[in-house]
Amino acid sequence: GPPRSRPHLSTQPRANQRGRAYQNRLPHHVRQAEKRTVTTDEYVRDWTRIRTRDEIKLSKDGQEIARGIADGVTHDGNTLWLIQPAGKGRSMFTHQDDILAFRTKASRPSRQI
């Protein structure tokens, strides 16, 4: 096809190639471990199963509304306290049908030796 006339398009592949070259310099086992690092969100239907210090994400209508470390749940599982990062502090959330809780964790399989 005709050569691309927009300069910002032609600079993009060079940056990608540089990133790939860096990737290939890393030891193979490091590259494999990076590929295997997966963040999983586990839906928690029953809030009484949330434990203190669990990493929790709350969403409503498909949008994340809060994320943080669980700091307590009432015995009936109706109320959750979350310590949020970035100075947002400790917040209270009530278990309503439209608020979903997820336990988040980055799971990396143990290296086989």
Where b means 16+ CB within 10 Å and e means fewer, 65-94 reads ebbbebbebeeebeebbbbbeeeeeeeebe
For 76-93, how does the pLDDT look when each residue is reduced to its tens digit (9 = 90+)? 999 999 999 999 999 999
Domain ranges of the chain: 7-36, 39-107
What is the percentage of the chain residues whose pLDDT exceeds 70?
Answer: 59
Q: What is the pLDDT of residue 90?
A: 97
Domain made up of 39-107: CATH architecture: Roll (2.30)
Structure tokens at 58: 């709350």
N residues, the chain: 113
Structure tokens at 31: 């590259």
Question: What's the Rg (C-alpha) of the chain?
Answer: 21
Evaluate if residue 110 carries a pLDDT over 50.
Answer: no
Write down the pTM of the prediction.
0.59
For 3-30, how does the pLDDT look when each residue is reduced to its tens digit (9 = 90+)? 655 555 544 455 455 555 555 566 666 6
